[in-house]
Amino acid sequence: MYYSLLAPYGFPHYITRDFELGGYTIPEGSVVFANIIAINNDPDYYTNPEKFDPSRWLDEHGQVTGRERVLTFGAGPRSCPGDIVAKMELFIFFTSILQFYTVMPEVEGSVLDETPILGFIVKGIDQNLVFKRR
């Protein structure tokens, strides 16, 4: 389930030959970054892309669908080779935490600040959380 990205612009790629894109010429030797945030938040493909909605990945039969559009680990021959392992590890990590703990703000009833701090990587604002054993 996509919520946010750690690396919103992926890794740099060097252009090996001149090419045209959207009416612009990108010259050989240029360095380009894929804007993964824009791709993963494209309103032409996702209704309310800024809203966390895991159900967008389920078809009418409850089967996972549409994952080919999410480029969290890049795309093509230079995508992250650890993609599958990383997804499994993240699933196990977060499932284990949520299975045994209720995670909440330190001050009960307060709302967590989900404002991202953008840079080469995205991080959240430091906040104190309480992990209460279930």
**Element (H or E) spanning 93, and its range?**
helix 83-100
Amino acid at 11: F
State the sign of the Cα–Cα–Cα–Cα dihedral 126, 128, 133, 134. Answer: negative
Residue 69 and residue 86: Cα distance in Å, rounded?
18
Tokens of 61: 């039969």
78 is in an annotated binding site: no
Q: Which residues are annotated as a binding site for heme?
A: 80
Which residues are documented as binding site?
A: 80
